[in-house]
Every structure is written in C-alpha cells, then in structure tokens.
Amino acid sequence: MNILGIHTGHNATAALILNNKLEAAVSEEKFTNIKNYAGFPLNAVNYIMKEYNLSADNIDFCALACYLNSTELPTQERMEKMKKGVISPSLEAYYLGAAGITSRYFGFTTPIFEGFYGFYQNNIKRGPNQKVIIDLLKSLFGFRESQIVFVHHHLSHSYAPIGFFNLHKQKEPILIITQDGYGDLLAGMTGKYENGKYNLLGTTSFVNSTAWIYAAVTKYLGMKDMEHEHKVMGLAAYPPKEYGMKIYEKKFKDLIEVKNAKINLKYKTFLPTAYLLAVLRDRLYRERFDNIAFGVQQLIEEKITEFVRQNIEKLR
C-alpha cells in the first residue's frame, strides 16, 4: 500500500509510505528556509512526488494528520510575512477565539461553555475547511475525494508507534498516551490498542495543556515559545538540585493537578501563553533563570509521570 501523509501545522511535513514501508519524510522548512514553517507543505509534497515518480494514480490514500488543516500555500508574499512575524491565524485559532469569548462571559464550567466545546469537537470532522483541502488536493495533484482521508491529530500520534515498531503483532493490550500543545482542540488522548483496534479511554482538553506552561516559561526567559523550549530543558540541568527543588515546590508544583487519571491546570484560559506569562511574572520575579528552568522541567516530568502511572493503574 502507498500512502502520502500530510501535516499542515507547526513544522509542516509530507511523508511517504511505499509498499508498506516508510520511504521519505520531508519538512517544508527545508524549502522555505523558515524554521517550523506552518501551512500546506506544497514544496515537500512536490519533492516526494517527483523524487519517487508518483502521481495520484499510484497512491492509495492521501492522509491528512488533522481534521483542521491550513490551506495556506508557501507563496513568496506569505513567506515574507512569516519572516516578519505577520501571519494569518489558523482555522483552529478562530475556534479558540470564539470559545474564548464564551469562556470570558460564561466561565469554564457552565453548560454554555460545555455546549460550545462539544459543538467544536463534533463539527471539526465535517467542517468547510475539509472541502477546501479536498479541492486543493484535487486541483494540485489530481487526487480523487475517495483517496483523501482525515485523521484526528492525536489519533495520528497514537498510531505512529504501532506502525514504526510493528506493535500490531503484539498480543498483549497496549496503553497509548499522547500529550502535546494542542491539535484538533485536544492536548492529549489516552487509548488502548488491542487485536488491531484502538479504543479511546480519555482525552485532555486544550485548556489543560501542560505545554502552555512550558511555552510561557520559555517566553518569560526571553526566548521564542514553540521553538526554544529545548534550551530551557538544557538550562534545567545546571542549578544545584536543592535550589531547583525549592523553586519547584514554592512556585510551580500547584500549577498542575493530576487526579483520577486526568490533568487539570490551575489557571485555564483560551489565551494560554499571554495569561500564564502574566501569572509567571508575578510568581517568578527576581528568581534565577536556571532555577526557573529546573522548576518547570521538574513540574512536567513529575506530573506527566504521575499521569501515566494513574492511567496504567486505571487500565489494570
């Protein structure tokens, strides 16, 4: 089976499975020279199609790794805007913005908020954005609608290790946990893979994404969020443990609660980085940068480990 995979979000990429083997994976940033380029990876797809002498006729499926996809092409005008930091919001950002207005006036726990959130979750599977993507793939590459498949962002993550490590042959059930910034309005998904089938066990809402905290710390320390988090991780190794643990206990530990195999952030918002940045400025005033890095790294490691442990216990 031949499958062309397309991711249009952060660090947009195209990949090719040829005769059931992963043959290529190319990121659009290699062609645009824009780090972590987001948008439709036109150059990456063209490269794969040309390099492997492919057309829509000899590809079984074109799989999109999200329900909500960017249709922005890497035009010269758009790339110039991206270099200047001036880009159009993603479709998902519009969903978040609308939900943000709802939460601003009605709160996070009211039936109105739950209704809006449920509406978004139910409708991203058949939104107008998908028709635009289908038309784009038809016009650019000649794909038929029957060849185009949309896969939930976190289900794409979940199935990746199954394919890479041939885990579909394993007889014992496999617990699969994903956690990231957000995708298709979720920050994570927990499921069980058994006998060739994936069963959803639970989800983490994007308002409870632990990545928001790490991104806010990255920005607070004067670096670029969604790009320089690895530098914060590197800084975490430098301070003496006693100093790092002190700031973790006093400044970070209460930001995340893990209970009943669920993640809950103390401060929820639809404008996460900006809101958490304000919280951190108050909490971390006059603290050393390396101790701060230790504190946030300890927070994520401890809370995610506890989250995994509780899910393992729940599955048994």
Residue 156: inside a domain, yes or no? no
**118 and 229 part of one domain:** no
Domain count within the chain: 2
**142 and 228 part of one domain:** no
Whole-number Cα distances in Å, 217 to 147, 271, 282, 286:
42, 15, 12, 14
**pTM for this model (two decimals):** 0.85
**136 and 215 part of one domain:** no
Whole-number Cα distances in Å, 16 to 36, 68, 150:
20, 21, 16
**92 and 214 part of one domain:** no
Picking from 151, 168, 191, the residue at the C-terminal end of a domain is 151
pLDDT tens-place string over residues 68-106:
887 788 777 776 766 666 555 555 554 555 555 444 444
**145 and 217 part of one domain:** no
Q: What is the mean pLDDT of residues 182-197?
A: 91
* pLDDT for residue 31 is more than 80: yes
* pLDDT for residue 29 is more than 60: yes
Residue 308: inside a domain, yes or no? yes
**39 and 123 part of one domain:** yes
Side chain identity, residue 183: G
Residue 133: inside a domain, yes or no? yes
**104 and 15 part of one domain:** yes
Picking from 118, 151, 184, the residue at the C-terminal end of a domain is 151
CB count, 10 Å around CB of 79? 17
**116 and 5 part of one domain:** yes
Q: Give the E-state strand segments of the chain in sequence order.
A: 3-7, 13-18, 21-27, 61-64, 148-150, 174-183, 186-194, 197-205, 256-259, 262-265
Residue 218: inside a domain, yes or no? yes
**22 and 146 part of one domain:** yes
* pLDDT for residue 263 is more than 80: yes
Supply the range of the domain harboring residue 115: 1-151
